[in-house]
Amino acid sequence: MKLIIPPRHLMTRTNDEDPVFFHYYPIARIVYRKRLKNTLSLIPQGNKFQNLLEIGYGSGIFLPTLAECAEKVTALDIHPETEAVGKLLDFYHIQSRVDLISGDIMKMPFADSTFDGCVIVSTLENIENSGQAVSEIARVVKPGGDIVISFPVENIITDMLFRIAGEDPRKIHPSNHHYILEYLRKNFTVTRIIHFPSFVPLNWSLYISLHCKNIKPGV
């Protein structure tokens, strides 16, 4: 399946930290689009999901692609900018198949085992207690369901890039990739991990993506 990148004029920043326009800048877009491509490559193809959850949908840039993977997509984010994202859904004629929900990943407004799949891109690193967030994901996804999660790697290179931009990486990303990986491996069965650039060791890369099954290891 091909990644769909909406025209820039359709995109709206949902808050001051929304990096959506980096998907269109000449150099930055290489990294930002690659993280979406890697995430997409880990989403099982073939049979469509009945109800796919995206957590942290932001500007909605990934929603046109995810709508091709599922009969229904439920998109959750803490921001209230559903009207702006709704215009994007209208453009792709997917508004009837995508529900935009304003809510908190730490206490999601869904019953247990609601979804057969879940996609999360660049969200867990922004949460101080990402372990609790992982437990919530395990709760709302059906046992054996597919979970694809992507997040940045913390190392001297990524720290330097943040500091050049005048940002404190610890404040921007309170949960580092070691912490997130630990909780994912405790709660799910990790089936595949990819990172980029792929020619360097994982801990020296920029971004990591995983496919997991909602099955506790050893069960």
CATH number (domain holding residue 30): 3.40.50.150
Classify residue 13: in a domain, yes or no. no
Domain count for the chain, please give it. 1
State the average pLDDT for the chain.
90
Instruction: Categorize the per-residue pLDDT at 164 as very low, low, confident or very high, splitting at 50, 70 and 90.
Output: low
Higher pLDDT: 42 or 167? It is: 42
User: CB of 123 within 8 A of CB of 148?
Assistant: no
pLDDT, position 14: 87
pLDDT, position 174: 62
Higher pLDDT: 173 or 116? It is: 116
Q: Which domain holds residue 138?
A: 21-213
> Could you tell me the CA-to-CA distances from 113 to 8, 59, 106 in Å, in that order?
36, 26, 16
Higher pLDDT: 66 or 163? It is: 66
Classify residue 4: in a domain, yes or no. no
Classify residue 1: in a domain, yes or no. no
Higher pLDDT: 151 or 1? It is: 151
Q: Is the pLDDT of residue 149 over 60?
A: yes
pLDDT, position 176: 85
Render pLDDT for 31-78 as a digit per residue (tens, 0 to 9): 899 999 999 999 998 889 999 999 999 999 999 999 999 999 999 999
Classify residue 15: in a domain, yes or no. no
Amino acid, single-letter form, for residue 200: V
User: Could you give the CA distance from residue 137 to residue 54 in angstroms, rounded to a whole number?
Assistant: 11
pLDDT, position 216: 85
Classify residue 12: in a domain, yes or no. no
Report the Cα 93 to chain-centroid distance in Å: 22
Classify residue 43: in a domain, yes or no. yes
User: Could you give the CA distance from residue 16 to residue 19 in angstroms, rounded to a whole number?
Assistant: 8
Classify residue 159: in a domain, yes or no. yes
Q: pTM for the full model?
A: 0.92
Classify residue 121: in a domain, yes or no. yes
> Could you tell me the CA-to-CA distances from 78 to 24, 64, 138, 186 in Å, in that order?
24, 20, 19, 26
Mean pLDDT along residues 202-217: 92
User: CB of 76 within 8 A of CB of 58?
Assistant: no
